[in-house]
Each structure stands twice: as structure tokens, then as C-alpha cells.
Chains A and B, each alone.
Chain A
């Protein structure tokens, strides 16, 4: 059976379609709410400045900055994870189509 490039591309695209949904889900349910919480706390620190020593207020603000960086690193990791999953799904889909076309296990 001849290998159909169009069918192969469609299989790959179909397998990769989940990437966008996974990324949007991560941004919507994790990153945005966490960044909003941090922003609210930065305002609260400023409003309650009298309850802290000057060094204490600075340490609390540094903690918020570090938390913001942490959310971005986590978001990057989730993006890499979603990309890894999508690419591996594409490769798995290609494997089925190709092995069926050549009639032997070209891709193990």
C-alpha cells in the first residue's frame, strides 16, 4: 500500500490538536489565578506596611517576586510537558500509519 502523505499529515495534525487545549487549560486554571493572588498580596503588603519592619516588608515583597518567577517557571514546565505529550502522540500516530503502509515494523 502506498503511503498517503495527506493522510499522514492529517493524522499528525489531529494528534497535535490537543496541545492548544492543554496549554489554554493550564493558563486558565493555574497561571492566571496564581498571578492574581500574588498581585492582591503585593497591594495588601503596601496597605499594611505599618505592621512590618522596613526589612520585613522588603522580605515579603521579595517573596512575591520570587513567587511570580515560580509561576512562570511552572507555566514553562507545563508548556514543555504539553508539547512533549503532543509530539509523542504525533510520533505514535505516524508509527501506526507508516507500519501499516510498509507492512513491517519500520518504527518500533
Chain B
């Protein structure tokens, strides 16, 4: 049988499929102003809280269990922030573009190469099986959980000054900046910094 020869057909057929498919792809959830604003507010609240705790380190007011007027203001900070993050996670889930973030393999490879012998499975398990934006917000919530645990197990010492940078420059501060960078990139069309 002679092959059908129509000029441009090999190009036109796939393009027709793309046209029928709506002619655009969507790998990342859309920009959400409330997530952007929520993360900006979290960044401020976190910096203020950690600075206040560092200033009060070694005194009862700097401890996780500090009680004032029948309330636990330091403990409550974590509950409030985790609640707000839960709301942002729900918003991100509503917009989600994928069911899984393809970072798991990258993390396994990176951790195994950088720190041989590290519990790679534990590092990989930190990436929730969900859209990248959802996974990132869940990691931020996990970072707040790490800070809560740190504050709690420090007991009467509270949060010493030498912990400020590991918390705000690295640690949970880095997680919040990462999530903010992604939201800003969504808004501005994938451009970051520079």
C-alpha cells in the first residue's frame, strides 16, 4: 500500500490533538494571593516570636510552658500558626495541578551523595505525596513542628541567642522563604530574584 502523502500532515496531526486538548499545559497550581499573604505574615510573626523568645531566654517568659493570666502565650503561638498553615494547605489542595511532586528521587540522590549513611528513607518520607505547592506548605508546617519541639525540649533554657540563625536563616526561616519564592514566581511568571 502506498503511504499517504499530504504535505505537512505529520506536523498538523499532533497539532490538531494539542488544539483539541486546549493547547496549554499545567504542571504547577495557580498563584493564590491568600497563600502569598499568609506566608508573608507567617514570616513576620515567626521573626518577631523568635526574637522575643531569644530576648527572654533563661527566664520563665521564654519557656515553652510559660503561663500568663491563665493562658499559655508561647504554646499558643504554635497552635495558631499550625491552624493558619492548615488553612493555606487546604487552599493549595483546591488549586493543585499534580498528585505528586517529582522531588522524591532527587532528594534520595542528593542526601545519599552528600551524607552517605544518612537515613535517606527518612528524608524522602518528609515529602508528602501531593502537588509540589501542597508538599512545600506541609514541610513549612513540619518546620514549625520542629521549632515547637526544640522550644519544648530546651526546658528552662528556652531559645538561646545561638539558635536564632539556625531557626531563621536556615531551618524554618528557609522553608518559609522557599514557599514565598515559589508563590512570587507563580505571580511573576517563573522569574526569581536576579
Contact = CB atoms under 8 A, between A and B. Distances in A.
Nearest to B174: A67
A95 B165 contact: no
A63 B171 contact: yes
A29 B11 contact: no
B167 interface: yes
B101 A52 contact: no
B103 A22 contact: no
Contacts of B132: 73, 76-77, 80
B162 A51 contact: yes
A74 B179 CA distance: 7
Query: Which of A76, A94, A107 counts the most chain B CB atoms within 10 A?
Result: A76
Contacts of B8: 2-3, 5, 101
B116 interface: no
For the complex of A and B, 8 pairs with smallest distance between CB atoms: A29-B193, A41-B170, A74-B178, A55-B153, A3-B8, A59-B150, A63-B146, A77-B132
A30 B136 CA distance: 15
Query: Which of A56, A70, A76, A87 counts the most chain B CB atoms within 10 A?
Result: A70
Query: Which of B170, B185, B192 counts the most chain A CB atoms within 10 A?
Result: B170
A101 B177 CA distance: 47
B175 interface: yes
A73 B103 contact: yes
Interface of A: 2-3, 5, 8, 22, 25-26, 28-30, 34, 37-38, 40-42, 44-45, 48, 51-53, 55-56, 59-60, 62-74, 76-78, 80-85, 87-88, 91-92, 94-95, 98, 101-102, 106-108
A53 B149 CA distance: 12
B166 A73 contact: no
A67 B103 contact: no
Interface of B is mostly: helix
Contacts of B170: 37-38, 40-42, 63-64, 67
A66 B190 contact: no
Interface of B: 7-8, 11-12, 15-16, 18-19, 23-28, 101-103, 106-107, 110-111, 123, 126-127, 132-133, 135-136, 139-140, 142-143, 146-147, 149-150, 153-155, 157, 160, 162-163, 165-167, 169-172, 174-175, 177-179, 181-182, 185-186, 189-194
7 contacts: A30-B193, A60-B163, A62-B146, A64-B166, A69-B139, A70-B178, A71-B178
A59 B154 CA distance: 10
Contacts of A55: 149, 153
B163 A73 contact: no
Contact of B169 (A41, A60, A66, A76): A41
